[in-house]
Amino acid sequence: MELKNKDTVVVVGGGPAGAFFALHFLRLSKVRGLDARLVIIEKRGETGPPESAHHLSCREGCNYCAGGLSPKLTEALEQEGLFLPEDIIAGVIRSLTIHAHWKNIELRVPADKKMYAVFRGSRPKGRVNRDRNFDSFLLEKAREAGAQVIFGNVYDLGCSEGGKHLVLYQSIKSGGEPGEETGRTIEADFLVLAGGVNQSLGQPMNKTPFWDVVRKAVPGYSPPRVRRALICEVEIQAELEAFLEGEIYFVEYGSQTLKIEMSSLIPKGRYITAALLGRSVDDLGSRDGLGLIKEYLDLPQIKRILPFGASMRPVCLCAPNMTVGAASRTVGERAAVVGDMAWARLNKDGIYSAYLTASALARAVLEAGIDGRSLRAAYVPVIRQLKRDNSFGRVLFMLNRLVFANPTLSRILYQAVLTERKKKPQRARRLADTLWKMASGDDTYRAGLRAMFHPLAVWSIAGGLLLTMRNFLTEQFFGLRWHRLGRYPTGLHKEDMEAKRVEFLRVGRPGFRPGRPAFESMYSITVKSEPGKIFRYLGTFGDGNRKYFKPRWLQVERIGGRPNEPGSLIRYLTPFRFLDFQVTLESRVEDKVLVYRVKSGFAEGGILIFDIEKEKSGVAGLSIYVAFDIAPGKKWTEKIFWFLFRYFFPGFVHDVLWNHSLCQLKDIIEKDSA
């Protein structure tokens, strides 16, 4: 059974699935020379004045979504010629940060990928530009492609004498009010059901009467498994916008009382969208959502992401269903379901899932036919294959939670990722690539699982285990405690290190031979503070009452000059006299650079540079560069001793000490700023 010219296709639901189906169908039917009519019936909407550039401008409410557009989706949109206008993009995402129990793992969005944050509707109330949103944009594009958009609520289906579906709907006036008392009917040669899984928000799925309506067209339809989510738009202070701009955070654990398995924070200008999944959300019935969100924002790991003392106001909150499985039947005679009603990728990328099912259905309808048998042959296998991938996703998420929520396991993984980041070029970073694909939805879960258990990935993790044990013992030896201290990443990417190294060597003019010195290291940390404050805190280096860099067995004190003034002399005393040395501040650039030179001892001529770089308003990067060589000595006994010393020099101790100290510095500066 095939569609013919002048036939009518009715799409129930003008969310992403409905709009994507319309766009695909209209494009493909044009290619095939089919002149069919396509009508979308959407229950949530207001039309603007017809003369307005954005006729379907205002979308009442929203479609209960965090609005993160994955790289796969943005790529697909561009391939379809759908370029998002600037006023639809609420945020351009430059990095994803997985917040693990030990430390954050930041994953940059590769230069050839795009990720955006959007609003799906007019909510939250009072936002500027509320008539510009992603769902209205898609619907407008469908209308431009030839779809007719009707605002109405589909409440029943019937059957015409010719065996076609009759779609019964009540029209809706501008503002979401019911339009007419009596319903209207439209006959469909083919019916697409794209109504999502939030027919009645917050109601259990089995109490949704709409499924009985769907079963009239798709006999045996049983909706996919859903999970309750909590989503909240949180208004933030204007000053915080710049802090958070361009970042997405994933946090996969809560606390003893707040059971969270997965949560995301997506900044969008004056708002951050928080989306939560977990046992506490499943059991929300007995707790109020607002209380739960407040408890979430109060978690130490969330406070570490958002600056200390940040004022945040939840302004829009709901507990929608999220599709986490696949429907049991998806096709009938002259009808099929798409989008969330059919399948969605587990915990990720629902809009791209809607794109996949909608485009697959459009192809099936035009290439195979509209009878049940043709659809079963051309469309159902696609759903089945997508469904299978979610089983791999379940295992992958379980492993992830296990690792990220555990302090020891997440430290091992962090260490492995850090080593890879410092030593390997970007294209060879296997672990980071796997994490990026999983967090961004850039590959199938099956591929993600396979990559995770690749022998080279396992080898990197084994390396991470050894390094973690070594660093832990070093911390114990030097009495470094993490209790009540934030743990932040301090390692740089290899490519950044190379670029900075050249700059530091130029500024520091070290007194050692060209080439690689005996020891060289670089660390960096992002501090939510103005450069001036960081510079002042660095002035306490060597003070007796400083609050950082105070390891056991090492005495560091200023013995001459004034803080941050050239000539300031700092002495390092160790338990072994031959390891003692002094550094002097040689030059400085106010609020930016401090260059210390090693004056005496085995590292004489070496340099220690503190560099502060403003990243954005209220945020600066603090980098430390250390490099020195070891003189070979004159007598042959000295030569052997210093050769062995150079060979066995435990450079990692320096890394462990400064890693801890940088976290201390960040904590005290940010607390002070707050």
Binding site for ligand FAD (CB under 6 A): 12-18, 41-44, 63-68, 153-154, 194-196, 198-199, 210, 229, 231, 275, 320, 322, 339-340, 344, 349-354
2 vs 131 by CB, closer to ligand FAD: 131
Token reading at 542: 């060597």
Q: Which is nearer to ligand FAD, 63 or 410 (CB)?
A: 63
> Rounded to the nearest whole angstrom, what is the least distance from the CB of residue 167 to ligand FAD in the complex?
9
- From the number of C-beta atoms within 10 Å of its C-beta (0-12, 13-18, 19+), residue 250 rates as buried
User: Could you tell me the smallest distance in angstroms from the CB atom of residue 76 to ligand FAD?
Assistant: 12
Choice between 48 and 561, CB closer to ligand FAD: 48
Shortest CB 73 distance to ligand FAD, Å: 7
Report whether the peptide linkage leading into residue 124 is cis, meaning its omega lies within 30 degrees of zero.
yes
The two tokens of residue 390 are 């979610």
Length of the chain: 674
Quote the least distance from Cβ 94 to ligand FAD, whole Å. 17
Which residue, 198 or 526, has its beta carbon nearer to ligand FAD?
Answer: 198
User: Min. distance of Cβ 416 from ligand FAD in angstroms?
Assistant: 28
In sequence order, which residues have a C-beta less than 8 Å from that of residue 594 and are 6 or more positions away?
535, 538, 564, 585, 588, 609, 610
Reading the block at residue 406, the tokens are 């555990």
Q: How far apart are CA 442 and CA 400, in angstroms?
A: 16
Q: β-strand 37-42 against 8-12: which pairing, if any?
A: parallel
Strand, helix or coil for residue 81: coil
Q: Rounded CA gap, 508 and 468, in Å?
A: 32
- Residue 26 or 354: the one with the smaller Cβ distance to ligand FAD is 354
Identity of the residue, 132 or 571, whose beta carbon is nearer to ligand FAD in the bound complex: 132
**Burial annotation 374-391 (CB, 10 A radius, 16+ → b, else e):** bbbebbbebbeebbebbe
3-state secondary structure 423-464: HCCHHHCHHHHHHHHHHHCCCCHHHHHHHHCCHHHHHHHHHH
Nearer Cβ to ligand FAD, position 195 or 464?
195
Pick 213 or 480: Cβ nearer ligand FAD: 213
Our CB check for ligand FAD shows the closer of 154 and 657 to be 154
Largest CA distance in the chain: 107
The DSSP code for 83 is: P
Least distance CB 44 / ligand FAD (angstroms): 4
Minimum CB distance to ligand FAD smaller for 229 or for 522: 229
Instruction: Tell me the C-alpha to C-alpha distance, in Å, between residue 446 and each of 27, 119, 224, 391, 509.
Output: 32, 30, 21, 9, 51
CA distance 134 to 131: 10
Task: Supply the minimum distance, in Å, between the C-beta of residue 144 and ligand FAD.
Answer: 18
Encode burial over 458-491: b for 16+ CB neighbours within 10 A, e otherwise. eebbebbbebbeebeebbeebebeeeeebbbbbb
How near is the Cβ of 122 to ligand FAD at its closest, in Å? 12
Q: How far is CA 129 from its chain centroid?
A: 24
Distance of closest approach, residue 59 Cβ to ligand FAD, in angstroms: 8
516's tokens: 């690689």
Half-sphere exposure of 5 (CA within 13 A, CB side): 5
**What residue has token string 């059919």?**
342
Rounded CA-CA distance 391/393 in Å is: 5
Q: How far is the CB of 119 from ligand FAD (least distance, A)?
A: 11
* Nearer of residues 65 and 608 to ligand FAD, judged by Cβ: 65
Distance CA 12, CA 154 (A): 7
Task: Identify which of residues 191 and 583 has a Cβ nearer to ligand FAD in the complex.
Answer: 191
Q: What is the rounded CA–CA span in Å between residue 657 and residue 639? A: 29
C-beta of 343 vs 548, nearer to ligand FAD? 343
d(CA 410, CA 104): 9
**Is 40 or 375 the residue whose CB approaches ligand FAD more closely?**
40
Whichever of 68 and 464 has its CB closer to ligand FAD, that residue is 68
Q: How far is the CB of 200 from ligand FAD (least distance, A)?
A: 10
CB of 124 to ligand FAD, least distance (A): 14
Give min distance, CB of 127 to ligand FAD, in A.
17
Burial 292-316 (b: 16+ CB within 10 A, else e): bbebbbebebbebbbbeebebebbb
Residue 618 DSSP symbol = T
Closest approach of ligand FAD to the CB of residue 471, in Å: 36
Given the structure tokens 């100290």, which residue do they identify?
661
**266 contacts 236 by C-beta, under 8 angstroms:** no
For the bound state, the minimum distance from the C-beta of residue 153 to ligand FAD, rounded and expressed in Å, comes to 5
Give the number of other CB atoms < 10 A from CB of residue 586: 18
